[in-house]
Amino acid sequence: MPAVRRLPAILGLSLLLCPAPPARAGSRVPAVASYRIEATWDEERKTLAGRETVFFVNRTAREFPDVLLHLYLNGFRNTRSTLSRGLPPPSGSDDFGACELKRVALHDGTDLTRRVSFSPPGAGNPDDRTLARIPLPRPVRPGETLVLEVDFESRLPRGVLRTGWKDDFVFAGQWFPKLAKATERGWRGRPFHPSTEFFADFGDYDVTLLLPGEVRGKVAVTGRVVEETADEAGRVRVRARAEDVHDFAFSFSPRFEVKREIVAPKGQPKVEVLLFLQPDHRRSRERYLRATREGLALLGAWLTPYPYPVLTIVDPPAGSGAEAMEYPTLFTGGTTWLAPASGGEPEAVTLHELAHQWFHGMLATDEVSEAHLDEGLSTWISARAAERLFGTPSAVVSAFGVPIPLGSLKRPLPEGEAQDALDQAAFSRSDPTLRETWRSLDDAAVVSNAYSRAALLLESVARTTGEQPVFAAVREYARRFAFGHPTTRDFLDVLGEVAGPEARDLVERGWTSAGAVDYAVTVATARRAEPLAGYVGEGSRRAWRAPRAPGRSWESTVVVQRLGEVAWPVEVEMRFAGGKTVTRRWDGRAEWMRWRITGPRLISAVVDPRRTCLLDVNRLNDGLLTEPDPTVARAWGHRLRFLAQNLLELFALLAVLPGVPL
């Protein structure tokens, strides 16, 4: 290239490099992606008009010739976006959102706006605008800092997929142009997909928001609010700062009731807990706070202490679409006006989102491709915490908007929540967990693999190989990769190192197969042992023994078959008359295993009698009796007849089937 033609580029390049981002106190991780944002909320248009300064520090060993920006809100832009495939059909203009890049420039003023292109090659949908690529005048070299000025306007849709507004409640998630994740292989960014979440670098955020004056003191943010001032127009200027985080969300509503509490778990740093509560959820206030307080202590002890000084809980109104979402130092809960105490909500959702403060907040895994790492671990450990702190919740049915707890009908965690996942494993078998999450067949596959099945797998491994080693491994994983971006390989390596190769092998088996675990006792018989008959002995000693009547001992046969694709080590317990029990261990790898035992009469054979493997899709076939026992079916026949009698009488009374849509 001639020198004259290279001049503008050279000038641009000299200005590309800039001082490091604003000084930060108490940094836990070298910042890669930091933001200084100023944005103004327009209540009428539901827009945030903003200007952001993006600081990208290239801490990789490679050069970046361009910048990849996520414009997540463009997922709501029209019905051709990748995200729209997972959204309900729009009912009006309020259902649409957007993130418009008004101007993109380098710190020196070099305008890059015209260079912006959308849907990079390989993104799979040319109509999608959730990824913007901006070529740079010259690459960002290792160790250099790129400073980008971006003017944007974001329009929030009516609350859906955990962002948007409902009446005067606003939850702004993924609202600003955000850098994709910088890796040694270049930018890692995928279009906003309906079943997946996010992946980003750590950094610092300095955000100033101009909001309606009525929300003063009622703004929940990632990090903490450091300044709130009124402007001449009666609006409130809120400045928030967050360090060592990889995202920034905020929420406000004039109706929030704010509760502040200092939590000091024993031996752990103090945490200021802020709860932003809906007035009609007042009954849940103490339940949110107790779950958070005790959850911080328990998860801090099980993993690593919560490292931030503040934790914010946003309780969204029903129907806002903002329930149950995690952001660094901030999460949303979910409860209802009449949430029954024994139903376990909002405690369970609080603990789950709190667990995300570790598994995604600090261990910033790739939620787009490896959702099992954050959702699976959070589901498992929060289920453990919920059972420990609050006991087993009861099932709750809802009739005409009134939740009715069914006291005696228990919903053990994580099993009670995971039956859909087992259905998926038993019937669909569409995707192994290790398939990139966004490539999964459908939302059901994602939810099944990433959440429940991963949780059941971890619980099963803990029960099979020992609870303590698995807990120790998860703790070590959390400690070693805090403020990092671990992968499945990292998790498996730590598991193998701390809990042993069997634990690692089992998790790997569970994650690499789309199939199910299913062991069945297919034969359990006992018959009188035949005395030795026929020709006995060799040569001249050969003798004839005539068949005789069977003796007193029994020959019992048990066959256990592996009907599922995934092998699991199991115990087989055989019970005999007189109370004798024989237990055999089987590595579960072969298609079947047979045992023949002579002695007392076999009563029953049960595979996995201690219920170590919760992934088994059919518990009914886990055992077999040698003699049928009709008592249970008889009892249910009796109950069903009485139920039918009363339903029939109701027919005569109302002449309609009871229980139809309420």
Partner 1 sequence: MKGSALPFLWARGLVAAATTWKALLLALLLNASLALVVTAPLASRLHDLLDDRPAAEGLAKGWDLVLGAHLLRSEPGLLGDRARLERLEQGVLPLAELPRLSGPLAGLLAAGLLHAVLSSLLAGGFAGRFAAERDRGSLAAFFTDVVRLGLPSLVIGVLGLAGVLGAFALFVELPREATLSPDLRWDWERTLLSLLRLIAFLFATSAVRAVVAQSRAALGLARTANPFLALASGLGFVLGRPVRALLLEIAFGFTALFPLVLWLLFAPSWSGGDPRLLALLVAGQQAVVLFRLLSRTAHLGAATAWMKGAREAGRPAPAKIES
Q: How far is the CB of 237 from partner 1 (least distance, A)?
A: 28
Cα–Cα distance between 338 and 344 in angstroms, integer?
12
Q: Which residue has the tokens 């200027």?
A: 237
Q: How far is the CB of 451 from partner 1 (least distance, A)?
A: 16
Q: Is 281 helix (H, G, I), strand (E, B) or coil?
A: helix
Strands 178-179 and 64-70: antiparallel
Nearer to partner 1, 264 or 640 (CB): 640
Nearer to partner 1, 166 or 188 (CB): 166
Nearer to partner 1, 487 or 525 (CB): 525
Q: Which residues contact 618 (CB under 8 A, 6 or more apart)?
A: 426, 518, 520, 563
DSSP string, 180-203: -EEETTEEE-----TT-------E
For residue 231, the tally of other CB atoms under 10 A from its CB is 10
DSSP string, 559-612: EEEE-SSS---EEEEEEETTS-EEEEEE---SSEEEEEEEESPEEEEEESTT--
Q: How far is the CB of 136 from partner 1 (least distance, A)?
A: 43
Cα–Cα distance between 235 and 42 in angstroms, integer?
11
Nearer to partner 1, 478 or 607 (CB): 607
Output Rg (C-alpha) for the chain, integer angstroms.
Answer: 30
Q: How far is the CB of 597 from partner 1 (least distance, A)?
A: 17
Q: How far is the CB of 156 from partner 1 (least distance, A)?
A: 16
Nearer to partner 1, 427 or 548 (CB): 427
Nearer to partner 1, 1 or 655 (CB): 655
Cα–Cα distance between 353 and 179 in angstroms, integer?
24
Strands 169-172 and 250-252: antiparallel
Q: How far is the CB of 291 from partner 1 (least distance, A)?
A: 19
> What 8-state DSSP symbol labels residue 129?
-
Q: How far is the CB of 600 from partner 1 (least distance, A)?
A: 17
Yes or no: say if 324 and 451 are a contact pair by the CB < 8 Å rule: no
For residue 305, the tally of other CB atoms under 10 A from its CB is 14
**CA-closest candidate to residue 13, choices 115, 138, 147:** 138
Yes or no: say if 591 and 567 are a contact pair by the CB < 8 Å rule: no
Q: How far is the CB of 167 from partner 1 (least distance, A)?
A: 5
Q: Which residue has the tokens 């048990």?
A: 558
Nearer to partner 1, 315 or 353 (CB): 315
Q: How far is the CB of 139 from partner 1 (least distance, A)?
A: 47
Q: How far is the CB of 89 from partner 1 (least distance, A)?
A: 14
Count of positions (residues) in the chain: 662
Helical H segments across 279-368, by residue range: 285-302, 347-356
Strands 257-263 and 271-277: antiparallel
Cα–Cα distance between 279 and 284 in angstroms, integer?
10
Nearer to partner 1, 15 or 441 (CB): 441
Q: How far is the CB of 521 from partner 1 (least distance, A)?
A: 9
Nearer to partner 1, 318 or 389 (CB): 318
Which amino acid is residue 165, in one-letter code?
W
Q: How far is the CB of 162 from partner 1 (least distance, A)?
A: 14
> What 8-state DSSP symbol labels residue 517?
B
Q: How far is the CB of 197 from partner 1 (least distance, A)?
A: 22
Yes or no: say if 157 and 174 are a contact pair by the CB < 8 Å rule: no
Nearer to partner 1, 61 or 620 (CB): 620
Nearer to partner 1, 229 or 645 (CB): 645
Cα–Cα distance between 145 and 143 in angstroms, integer?
7
Nearer to partner 1, 317 or 588 (CB): 317
Nearer to partner 1, 202 or 451 (CB): 451
